Structure 1
Amino acid sequence: MASRDQFQRFIFEDSQVRGAWVKLNDSYSEIGSQAPYPASVRRMLGESLVASVLMSSTLKFEGTLSLQAQGDGPLRTLMAECSHDRFIRGLARYDEHAVTEDSLNALLGEGRMAITISPDKGQRYQGVVPREEENLAGCLEEYFERSEQIPTSFFLFADENCSAGLMLQKLPGDTEQDSDLWDRLNHLASTVEAEELLTLDSETVLHRLFNEETVRLFDAEPVAFRCSCSRERTLGALESIGKEECYSILDEQGSIEMDCQFCHQHYRFDRNDIDHLFTGHTLH
């Protein structure tokens, strides 16, 4: 059966303008089921997941792109991550008694948002996302304009069961003709309705929006939820908190138990595990 979660690139022929489309159903539902998210938090998480997939399509290497936000508002933490091979994960932490707003800035309050690019090989890069716009799409557009100097437009939507989005991007080396096309495409794309992106396939959406342009749509790629946690990575996290702290927890609790925040996988480590971690062999 074909995946209900798909990503597709497209280009406008003979121009320096490209785009991407994504729709998430099963993966969004699976990630959303990890906690009893209020509707506004769930939608914000859905938009973030879509944005992470769209932005990851610009990566030229193997690795991950994550969108992270922390604030002092009802939505304390927001995180969405996509790998180069279209595996996604995400989470949100929130004050369930205070979630009454829908807009990004009202939910987050004062805080910080960043995009982190983590190559499998090489240095990690992090860029701060401006928080001057009221919605996530606007904030990301400002980020690309200021940090990357690449005009980029985002159209992000999510409801209870589905999240979807569209990205347009004008590449360096554009001509005056490309600039005219860019303005025209953005005017057309701004007319897209949430229901269209959330219910229609890519070909139908692109035809409705850009039927007077020559669009080349590339093959669809599946998107799926997959957590990158493992016992080895969890041991690495324990190593980072230090030998003294680990043995202190062992002395107090008898073992160290950790749950993955993304998939709730449970990991348990006894004294032999910690001995091996810090000495390379078992002492007990």
Structure 2
Amino acid sequence: MASRDQFQRFIFEHSQVRGAWVQLGESYREIGSQAPYPDSVRQLLGESLVASVLMSSSLKFEGTLSLQAQGEGPVRTLMAECSHDRYIRGLARFDEHSMAEESFEALLGEGRMAITITPDKGQRYQGVVPREESNLAGCLEDYFDRSEQIATSLFLFADDNCAAGLMLQRLPGHTEEDDDLWERVNHLARTVEAGELLELDSTTLLYRLFNEETVRLFDSEPVAFRCSCSRERTEKALEAIGKDECYSILEEQGSIEMDCQFCHAHYRFDRNDIDHLFTGHTLH
């Protein structure tokens, strides 16, 4: 069986309408295994991971795109990130004692959502995502319409084992013919069912939806879970905490222990490590 962890772009020939498809299997399960997520939280995380991959397809540089939400509902924090080379990671923090309802609005409650684009070189950009729709796809469609002025349709699904999505966009400079095409393909896309997106390969799915249109598929790209944490990045976090605070923790605890929230990698720093970090040398 071909890997389900695949991303693929496509275009409708001779038009300003484009699309992207993604399906996550092993990468989604690996991320989902990092915590005992309830089904509703796991599925929301899966939809967010799918959305991060689809949205990152427009990146024209090396870097990452992340979707982040802070809420007052059972899900306090939601984060999904995809790099330009299709490595993903994500997490959700939740209060298991207040998991009464499972809708998107109930899970996050009042709060904010943002998209952060972080180039490897250059300045970080953050855009606020409106929280006025009843699902994640609708909120992100609003974001593209208001912030990017790009008409966008998103279809996001996730179950216990797989997460998948489809994105359609009408680019600036569209013609009247493009507008007609946009209406047709959106009408067709709205017929897609969760099982089709989660189970069918891209060729089969796109033919089933758009067999009367001329669609050109680009080469598929693998998607994989990989955490970007490292000892060096953890040291930078310690530098941001500051010398005085680090030595205060050392005096109290004897060492500084830090765990990655995404992959649970463990980093330990003793006094020699902190001496070297802040002075460039150790006492021993």
User: Which TM bucket (shorter chain)?
Assistant: over 0.9
- CA shift for structure 1 position 18: 0.3
- CA shift for structure 1 position 281: 1.4
Amino acid at match of 1:201: D
1:81 maps to what in 2?
81
Spell out the pairing of 1:99-110 with structure 2 (5 A cutoff): 99-110=99-110
Where does the alignment leave 5 or more consecutive residues of structure 1 unmatched?
none
1:34 maps to what in 2?
34
Distance 1:99 1:113 in 2: 20
Spell out the pairing of 1:1-284 with structure 2 (5 A cutoff): 2-284=2-284
- Give the secondary-structure state (helix, strand or coil) at the position aligned to 1:97: helix
- CA shift for structure 1 position 97: 1.2
- Check the 8 A contact 1:56/1:65 in 2, yes or no: yes
Amino acid at match of 1:72: E
Distance 2:74 2:4 in 1: 32
The number of aligned residues is: 284
- CA shift for structure 1 position 2: 4.8
- CA shift for structure 1 position 104: 1.6
Amino acid at match of 1:101: E
- Cα RMSD after superposing both structures: 0.9
- Check the 8 A contact 1:152/1:168 in 2, yes or no: yes
Amino acid at match of 2:59: L
Write out per-residue CA displacement over residues 64-96 of structure 1, whole angstroms, 9 at most, x where no aligned residue.
Answer: 000000011000000000000000000000001
Amino acid at match of 2:181: L
- Give the secondary-structure state (helix, strand or coil) at the position aligned to 1:195: helix
Amino acid at match of 1:174: H
- Give the secondary-structure state (helix, strand or coil) at the position aligned to 2:90: strand
- Check the 8 A contact 1:40/1:101 in 2, yes or no: no
Distance 1:125 1:169 in 2: 21
Distance 1:41 1:101 in 2: 11
Q: Percent identity of the aligned residues?
A: 84
Distance 1:98 1:59 in 2: 37
Distance 2:2 2:222 in 1: 8
Distance 1:151 1:240 in 2: 40
- Check the 8 A contact 1:144/1:152 in 2, yes or no: yes
Distance 2:103 2:185 in 1: 26
Distance 1:152 1:92 in 2: 26
Write out per-residue CA displacement over residues 102-153 of structure 1, whole angstroms, 9 at most, x where no aligned residue.
Answer: 2222111110100000000000000000000010000000000000000111
Distance 2:2 2:244 in 1: 51
- Give the secondary-structure state (helix, strand or coil) at the position aligned to 2:203: helix
- Check the 8 A contact 1:71/1:108 in 2, yes or no: yes
Distance 2:52 2:252 in 1: 40
- Check the 8 A contact 1:66/1:79 in 2, yes or no: yes
Where does the alignment leave 5 or more consecutive residues of structure 2 unmatched?
none
Write out per-residue CA displacement over residues 222-255 of structure 1, whole angstroms, 9 at most, x where no aligned residue.
Answer: 0000000000000100110111110010000100
Farther off after superposition, 91-100 or 42-51: 91-100
- CA shift for structure 1 position 101: 2.1
- Give the secondary-structure state (helix, strand or coil) at the position aligned to 1:51: helix
